[in-house]
Structure 1
Amino acid sequence: MENQPIQVIGGGLAGTEAAWQIAEAGIPVILHEMRPKRFSPAHHTENLAELVCSNSFGAMASDRAAGLLHEELRQLGSIIISKADEHAVPAGGALAVDRGQFGQDLTQTLANHPLIEFRRGEVPAIPDGIVVLASGPLTSPDLAADLQRFTGMEYLSFFDAASPIIVGDSINKNIAFMASRYDKGEAAYLNCPMNKEQYLQFREALLQAEKTELKDFEIETAKYFEACLPIEEMARRGEDTMRYGPLKPVGLSDSRTGERPYAVIQLRQEDKAGQLWNMVGFQTNLRWGEQKRVFQMIPGLENAEFVRLGVMHRNTFLNAPQLLSPSLQFKQRPTLLAAGQLIGTEGYTAAAAGGWLAGTNAARLALGKEPLILPPTTMIGALFEYISSATPKHFQPMPPNFGIIPDLGVKIKSKPEKYGKYRDRSLADLANWKTQINNV
């Protein structure tokens, strides 16, 4: 089987990672990406691994869930995390990247690999042979229909959204101030402060603003993913909901006044030059004209120039507990593997992790080897153990978090100490696992 190319469908984070791991294992791979012949509602470029929402991969510290997953993937040779590190931009304690350079570099790097063939165009049906399905939450209708026929199941669905991006020179730096929460790390966020009156006026404007109309079938099936709520939905849920979410002022004070604002809108650097800034937590379904009107009410953004406004779209994901094993193989067809948001994981790093495992196991199948399952004490192992064993009836997308990792067996009150021990155990178990695999 090793002479037959493995096919990877989808050039997002998961598909890019999967294709790289297959090729690095010495197996030829065909990477299918429908862009630029057909674009999804969320994509704007033809680059691989385009980041369509935030440019942040989450916390860098390895005693945080996302940061631990970063470190595990570094140990496993992830191309996504390697390029993220290479194209990092200042973001306080987070790993954020210059998304343009990141996508361009990955596209060129894979194009230069002698065992990777690009095919631009839509794949309408699941091919035969060994296949990694990484078509994402916006899978094209024909392929989605074929996947539904194959599984005999309906998709689950929820809504996801992307935040606006602002030109740096259009931000009023006399009002916005640079700081990171609790002065942690480099001061890498621009903070737009609000007093109580400004906050309440802003909330009222959000509540009254016109939203993009959803189709009837979308309204009936829509479920917001709680970690990515539209800002207007947060405003609707209560007067202080935003202040306990992305607008929380805790740990932030303006060094010019020494005062802590009533609420704060944070802007995160998008590119290395600091020319573009992302509105943190401002996923939205407001009409574009309304976004400009309402967001320019924010102190410091009175003359904001938006290079991208927020968009909202329906994402779809599989009922992974019924369909997949922890190796990311379909139970009813082991030569078909899946990865990315399609399988119900949340976040860029989780998508890369799924791509790593699906690609690695696809290559092992081609080489006549047993597929791998990682220890459940690692973040990557726990994540895929969860999505393959959760209660199917209530399954929802899951980001990396310490709640899915097996208990330490000892009671530790201090969260930092507890998370540090999770990290130490994870990385030690991963190192031992790698040694065992290499000796097989």
Structure 2
Amino acid sequence: MTYDVHIIGGGMAGSEAAWQLARRGLKVRLSEMRGGGDSTAAHQGTGLAELVCSNSFRSDDHEKNAVGLLHHEMRQLDSLLMAAAAKAQVPAGSALAVDRDVFSAEVEAALAAQPTLTVVRERIDRLPDAGLTIIATGPLTAGALAQSIGAATGAESLAFFDAIAPIVYHDSINMDVCWMASRWDKGETKDYINCPMTREEYQAFHAGLLAGEKTEFREWEANTPYFDGCMPIEVMAARGEDTLRFGPMKPVGLDNPHSATPEFPKGRWPYAVVQLRQDNKLGTLWNMVGFQTKLKHAEQVRLFRTIPGLEQAEFARLGGLHRNTFLNSPELLDRQLRLKSAPHIRFAGQITGCEGYVESGAVGLLAGLMTAAELTGRDWTPPPRTTALGALLSHITGDAEAATYQPMNINFGLFPMPPEEVKKKQRKEAYTARAKADLAQWLASA
């Protein structure tokens, strides 16, 4: 089949872009190197839209949270990823978390049902010279294609390290020590497994993180920075003894029922807590929240088994570290995500410098809509900057300073400020209410 658009990369962004184009009857070739004899340092399988780090899309609260608002906006635009997430959802309190295998299978099935879409398992080593193309190869772009992108942009891409959290088998967790609870007992369900630590246990664990043997850097990786949203736990530990207790190991709002007394019938807060979140629908796999790590595998097993309740832990996956690359998009891309030096090529997803599953899919969605408009001869009007989609797009394509550009999750700092008369405590609601109204108006005029 001849095609109207060639999409390279079958991750979150590429899958969403392919869906938006194919459901409009446009012919799409989606090239994915996994399954054709190649893989990456982080992927475990060959499924489209495979989640390689956390299984969480973060908060689903669209009244007060920027990423929850982005979920809402993507649903309004018939996002494949949001539909698949709904079918693959697992308990996670107010967060949207999924069974990663079910999620990938739902995405593949929906794309396979599109008659104008062809998925080809092949590695593409250079940018096409002609034809509308969307590059959605993500932060793990294969070497030859990365070199081709570098040659076309005339500048080296920036880079950072991203770390993966371990996953534990549920039946290896000692629930006589741990307990199920959500912080402050919010919600009707208790969605997290909590492993309590005393002061002495925490201090020994902290010392172990600092002393543990780490993955060694190659010479060319030596000056690559970390992205703050996925910081290895041992890097956080090096920032101070109490950093983890105010971050992923925060005990606030978690009453340990095993410590209940007549004076404290609900139990006391531990000195620190390790939380695990359900990773699959069966509830057999649980990931260690905030425990992205570059510790060597043997060191992970030894140290993480010192956590109370995880003394006999069996790991379905240990943590890891991989190098991510992204473009200096404010300098290289136009307002429609097109490469200024080769406008037949668009970029989408994390390679543009957005960070996070949802953000990657959102930029893929926008790239698909832009390309569909171009193919059908329609003018493209971007979503207002007051929306989550518009704010993210504006950050990538010009609002950010090119000289200091870094990966960014969606956050209210990317939005125009609400009117001055809005009180500080009401600003989050003001951001989301304005965004929803403006998106509805944009959709009505599209």
Task: Please tell me whether residue 408 in structure 1 is matched to residue 418 in structure 2.
Answer: yes
Secondary structure of residue in 2 paired with 1:161 = strand
Residue 252 of structure 1 aligns with which residue? 254
Residue 26 of structure 2 aligns with which residue? 27
Residue 172 of structure 1 aligns with which residue? 174
Contact kept? 2:3, 2:29, Cα under 8 Å: no
Secondary structure of residue in 2 paired with 1:18 = helix
Contact kept? 2:11, 2:48, Cα under 8 Å: yes
The amino acid across from 1:12 in the alignment is G
Task: Please tell me whether residue 54 in structure 1 is matched to residue 32 in structure 2.
Answer: no
Contact kept? 2:152, 2:341, Cα under 8 Å: no
Displacement of 1:414 after TM fit?
4.1
Residues 150-161 of structure 1 correspond to what in structure 2 (within 5 A)?
150-161=152-163
Displacement of 1:250 after TM fit?
1.3
Secondary structure of residue in 2 paired with 1:268 = strand
Residue 223 of structure 1 aligns with which residue? 225
Residues 415-430 of structure 1 correspond to what in structure 2 (within 5 A)?
415=425, 417-430=426-439
Contact kept? 1:327, 1:372, Cα under 8 Å: no
The amino acid across from 1:241 in the alignment is T
Structure 2: runs of 5 or more not aligned: 261-266
Residue 301 of structure 2 aligns with which residue? 292
Secondary structure of residue in 1 paired with 2:445 = helix
Residues 384-399 of structure 1 correspond to what in structure 2 (within 5 A)?
384-389=393-398, 390-399=400-409
| Normalised TM-score (structure 2) | 0.95
Displacement of 1:375 after TM fit?
0.4
Residue 144 of structure 1 aligns with which residue? 146
Write the deviation string for residues 45-78 of structure 1: whole angstroms up to 9, x where unpaired: 1100000000000101102011000000001110
Write the deviation string for residues 375-426 of structure 1: whole angstroms up to 9, x where unpaired: 00001100110121211111000101001100112244443x2111111110
Counterpart CA distance in 1 for 2:445 and 2:105 is 36
Contact kept? 1:335, 1:362, Cα under 8 Å: no
Counterpart CA distance in 1 for 2:42 and 2:136 is 16
Displacement of 1:368 after TM fit?
1.8
Residue 117 of structure 2 aligns with which residue? 116
Counterpart CA distance in 1 for 2:254 and 2:103 is 30
Secondary structure of residue in 1 paired with 2:160 = strand
Write the deviation string for residues 298-330 of structure 1: whole angstroms up to 9, x where unpaired: 001000000100010110000011012332222
Secondary structure of residue in 1 paired with 2:41 = coil
Secondary structure of residue in 2 paired with 1:260 = coil
Secondary structure of residue in 2 paired with 1:73 = helix
Counterpart CA distance in 2 for 1:200 and 1:307 is 27
Counterpart CA distance in 1 for 2:3 and 2:51 is 31
Residue 238 of structure 1 aligns with which residue? 240
- Mean alpha-carbon deviation: is it higher for 106-115 or for 26-35? 106-115
Counterpart CA distance in 2 for 1:435 and 1:105 is 29
The amino acid across from 1:302 in the alignment is E
Residue 213 of structure 2 aligns with which residue? 210
Displacement of 1:270 after TM fit?
0.4
Residue 75 of structure 1 aligns with which residue? 76
Of residues 183, 195, 210, the one that matches 1:192 is 195
Residue 325 of structure 2 aligns with which residue? 316
Structure 1: runs of 5 or more not aligned: none
Residue 441 of structure 2 aligns with which residue? 432
Residue 64 of structure 1 aligns with which residue? 65
Contact kept? 1:168, 1:276, Cα under 8 Å: yes
Counterpart CA distance in 2 for 1:24 and 1:111 is 12
Counterpart CA distance in 1 for 2:248 and 2:341 is 42
Displacement of 1:374 after TM fit?
1.1
Residue 105 of structure 2 aligns with which residue? 104
Give the number of aligned pairs.
434
Displacement of 1:332 after TM fit?
2.7
Write the deviation string for residues 1-53 of structure 1: whole angstroms up to 9, x where unpaired: xx742000100000000000010111000000000221100001110000000
The amino acid across from 1:405 in the alignment is F
Secondary structure of residue in 2 paired with 1:253 = coil
Contact kept? 1:321, 1:392, Cα under 8 Å: yes
Residue 263 of structure 2 aligns with which residue? none
Secondary structure of residue in 1 paired with 2:322 = strand
Contact kept? 1:15, 1:355, Cα under 8 Å: yes
Counterpart CA distance in 2 for 1:305 and 1:400 is 35
Counterpart CA distance in 1 for 2:3 and 2:141 is 25
Residues 302-313 of structure 1 correspond to what in structure 2 (within 5 A)?
302-313=311-322
Change (3 A) 1:190 1:293: same
The amino acid across from 2:345 in the alignment is L
Of residues 368, 373, 387, the one that matches 1:364 is 373
Contact kept? 1:165, 1:277, Cα under 8 Å: yes
Residue 184 of structure 2 aligns with which residue? 182
The amino acid across from 1:29 in the alignment is V
Write the deviation string for residues 98-140 of structure 1: whole angstroms up to 9, x where unpaired: 1011101211221221111011011001122101110000100
Residue 204 of structure 2 aligns with which residue? 201
Secondary structure of residue in 2 paired with 1:237 = coil
Task: Please tell me whether residue 38 in structure 1 is matched to residue 38 in structure 2.
Answer: yes
Counterpart CA distance in 2 for 1:4 and 1:14 is 19
Displacement of 1:373 after TM fit?
1.1
Displacement of 1:434 after TM fit?
0.6
Secondary structure of residue in 1 paired with 2:257 = coil
Counterpart CA distance in 1 for 2:194 and 2:335 is 42
Residue 134 of structure 2 aligns with which residue? 132
Q: Percent identity between the aligned chains? A: 48
Contact kept? 1:157, 1:314, Cα under 8 Å: yes
Contact kept? 2:38, 2:123, Cα under 8 Å: yes
